[in-house]
Amino acid sequence: MATQSSHSQQLMRSERRMFSASDDSAMMKQIQSTHSPDGRFLDVKPILQVIDNVLRHLTPTIDHHALNGGQGHMDAIDDSSATMDSNGMLEALAFLVHKISCEISCKCSGGGDAHATTMVLLNTLSSYSWDAKVVLTLAAFAVNFGECWLVLQLCTTNSLAKSVALLKQLPDILEYSHTLKPHFDALHKLIKAMMEVTKCIVEFTELPFQYISSDLPPMSIAVAHIPTAAYWTIRSVVACAAQIASLVGMRYEFVTSTSEAWELSSLAHKVCSIHEHLQKILHLCHLHIDEKKQTEAYEGLKHSFGTPQLDNSKILLKIFSLSKEDPHSLLGPDKTKVHIEVLRRKHVLLLISDLDITHEEIQVLESLYKYDRVTSEVNYEIVWLPIVDRSAWNDSYQQKFLSLQSMMPWYTVNHPSIIEQAVVKYTREVWNFVKKPIVVTLDPLGKMTCPNALNMLWIWGNTAFPFTTDREASLWKAEAWTVELLVDGLEPNLSNWVRQEKVICLYGGEEMEWIESFTYAIKNVAQFLGIGLEMVYVGKNNAKERVKKITGLINERQLSHAWQDANVWFFWKRLESMLFSKTQHGKTNEIDVIKQEVMTLLGYDGSEQGWAVFFSGTNMVRAKGDKVLNAIQSFEQWEDMARVSGFISAIRGHLEGIADEHHCTRLILPGISGGIAETVVCAECGRTMEMYFMYRCCDE
């Protein structure tokens, strides 16, 4: 609002300078004194369309074909619709239009003063609104101009037209067509400017009054200057009529004179300037109206979500900016348009993202939606709600949107532009969408049951159905910190390893030297103790290319199991989701073991070292790279304890006895929402940067 207000103030100063340059207060008072509207309404749009069809026949240049009986390209215009709409109206106004037409012809033929003639016309039209005054004057001019032009076109081929031309003393314009070109060019420019200003004035009258007040800027600025704009438009009509009248009985001196053309050009420049300024005001008015409409839509959306519904139809219509008359702007899984009714009384998951949603995220959701959903017999639908910056939309974004859309086997919008700004505002302010994808769940009645179920989907998949906040809480109550929770379905051999009571080691990092030393040492320890050991390299978060290279070396040297890219990505995504889910439920580190362990692993990943976590049944121990490697390499110090109490208990006891000389732990988390700047662009490529929060503890 502050920006729009400053624009309005600047425009007011600009308008004041522009109009006051030639329109002093005395003349403004004189113009206003002629205005005494009686409240009658006149729909001028149909009349204006007929006028436009008449006046556009004046082409920028005069060619021999058009004046020699040819039809010209404009004659093919179909005026039927305009004629049908305006016929009855013009019949009622015929006398007034004729009166003004005669007034213009009389005053202009006699070489009268242009200002005085304009004031006479304004007084004649005193009871009409400003838009009606201008349109009716243009209608009268169109009658005179149309008759003259029609006779000129037909006089060489039609005997009646030839006789009328002789009686009117119309000249042989064909003889001077090239010489008269500046005159007709000037006429064309001025008539075009007159029509543009008139259309602009009419557009102001059509603005929805419920969203904009004529007593406040920017509309009050328009109200103040429309009378001046109307005056100069009508005065331009008088000037054009005088120019055309001068063609009648013209002499050689007129043909060779350029002063009349220069005067019309000067007037056209002024009217164009008026149009330019009115357009700026009109633009501000539309911004004001759009803002009011979006505020109304936003409040309406809030009210709908806060009001019990019979089903989800009303909510979905508002979210996707659909109308009951045309509710077909959604595409189904087969990418054909569907009726919103297909989602009625269903659980709906709104996938909200920008165009940077990753292929991995889409692929995991696809697996849940297409396969697991069927086998687990849960009934829900996903609809993609892409949030984009409309002002930056281009062909590249369009192609990216279509590419993402083609990958999604669920419902999508036909185009991001159908999503109103009120809905975008709601996703950001109420559902806290910033950049990372979220999934908002709606029950069959349209009630929002979870502001972000994506964490649940990553952690438990369709087991979390119907993806409510209460369901999330109950699932956490049943969980414990186990290797099954940590790994879930990422390792196909996990259930066999657990059943065989093997020690399971997950390790990460990107130092190949440490990885080789660690895997060699732990294998030796397992061999000495005679225990089953399985190791899985889980990589490092946000280091895809480096991890891919390390995975290749691990597989090549057969150091341990190593996951492919997709599983590494999902492992870390699930860990982040666990932390966010726990945080949303208000769990604290001190009393929540799972949250504490998740944060520890994420902290390990934020360091420069490797790390390892060991599971055996319900026992678990973990440590950072150098510490766990040193403990394993000094196996002889805790070997006896390991043979008595087991590997996990023995190495835990040994690790607890090692005092860290210093530590430096970093925890880096993706940003979801906050009070700092939400959008920062990369200085190198210009793309929007992802937001992360870093927590750091160093005793160095």
Integer Cα distance of 336 and 414 in angstroms:
9
DSSP string covering 436-447, please? S-EEEEE-TTS-
For tokens 């002499």, the residue is 251
Whether residue 675 has pLDDT greater than 50: no
CATH class entry, domain 483-650? alpha beta
Sign of the C-alpha dihedral computed for residues 666, 672, 674 and 679 taken in this order:
positive
**Band of the pLDDT at 85, cuts 50, 70, 90?**
low
Report the distance separating Cα 455 and Cα 510, nearest Å.
27
User: Cα–Cα distance between 57 and 74 in angstroms, integer?
Assistant: 6
Domain ranges of the chain: 43-56+91-292, 312-478, 483-650
- Stretch among 396-400, 543-547, 694-698 having the lowest mean pLDDT: 694-698
Task: Please give the residue that has the higher pLDDT: either 326 or 105.
Answer: 105
> What pLDDT, on a 0 to 100 scale, did the predictor assign at position 693?
65
CA of 435: how far to CAs of 198, 203, 515, 577, in Å?
46, 39, 35, 15
Contact predicate 271/232, CB 8 Å: yes
12 sits in which H/E element: helix 2-20
Low-confidence winner among 406-410, 515-519, 606-610 (lowest mean pLDDT) = 606-610
Domains 312-478 and 483-650 share a fold: yes
Polymer length of the chain: 700
Q: Which residue has the tokens 């390499």?
A: 633
Residue 60's pLDDT band (cuts 50, 70, 90): very low
Residue 566 has pLDDT above 70, yes or no: yes
Q: Distances in Å between the alpha carbon of 417 and those of 329, 407, 424, 676?
A: 11, 20, 11, 28
Give the separation between CA 129 and CA 147, rounded to whole angstroms.
Answer: 27
CB-CB contact of 540 with 607 (8 Å): no
Spatial CA neighbour of 437 closest among 454, 450, 424: 454
Distance between CA atoms of residues 222 and 225, nearest Å: 5
Q: Looking at residue 263, what is its pLDDT? A: 84
Residue with more model confidence, 666 or 45:
45
pLDDT of residue 259: 72
CA distance 100 to 139: 9
More confident residue, 113 or 547: 547
pLDDT, averaged across the chain: 83
Q: Are 122 and 133 in contact (CB under 8 A)?
A: yes
DSSP state, 371? Answer: I
How would residue 15 be classed by pLDDT, with cut points 50, 70 and 90?
A: very low
- Greater confidence (373 vs 314) lies with 314
Cα(534)–Cα(568) distance, integer angstroms: 17
Q: What is the pLDDT of residue 227?
A: 95
Return the CATH fold of 312-478.
Glutaredoxin (3.40.30)
CA distance 548 to 544: 6
Q: Could you tell me the end-to-end alpha-carbon distance of the chain, in angstroms, rounded to an integer?
A: 50
Which stretches of 616-700 are DSSP H helices? Answer: 625-633, 639-645, 647-656
Which is more confidently placed, 61 or 474? 474
Q: Indicate whether 616 pLDDT > 70.
A: yes
Q: What percent of the chain has pLDDT over 90?
A: 56
Q: How many CB atoms lie within 10 A of CB 559?
A: 19
- Distance, in Å, from the CA atom of 630 to the CA atom of 489, rounded to the nearest integer, reads 32
Q: What is the rounded distance in angstroms from the CA atom of residue 12 to the CA atom of residue 270? A: 18
Q: Which two tokens stand for residue 645?
A: 């109490």
> What are the angstrom distances between the C-alpha of 529 and each of 515, 523, 635?
21, 10, 10
596-608 pLDDT, tens digit each: 899 889 888 888 7
User: What is the 8-class DSSP label of residue 657?
Assistant: T
Helices in 430-559 by DSSP H: which ranges?
A: 454-460, 469-477, 483-487, 494-499, 512-529, 544-557
Percent pLDDT > 70 in the chain is: 80
Q: How far is CA 452 from CA 143, 343, 432, in A?
A: 66, 20, 9
- Distance CA(314)–CA(328), nearest Å, equals 14
Q: Which of 450, 451, 545, 532 is nearest to 497 (CA)?
A: 532
Does the pLDDT value for residue 6 go beyond 60?
no
572-579: average pLDDT: 93
Cα 615 from chain centre: 49
Among 125, 239, 132, 245, which residue's Cα sits nearest to residue 193? 239
Kind of pairing, strands 380-386 and 411-413?
Answer: parallel
| Tokens coding 241 | 């009529």
Q: Which residue has the higher pLDDT, 168 or 8?
A: 168
pLDDT of 175 above 80: no
Q: What's the CA gap between 584 and 606, in Å, rounded?
A: 22
What is the arithmetic mean of pLDDT over 83-110?
74
- Rounded to an integer, what distance in angstroms lies between the CA atom of residue 642 and that of residue 346? 56
CB of 376 within 8 A of CB of 462? yes
In this predicted model, what pLDDT tens digit does every residue of 413-442 receive, in sequence order? Answer: 999 988 999 999 999 999 999 889 999 999
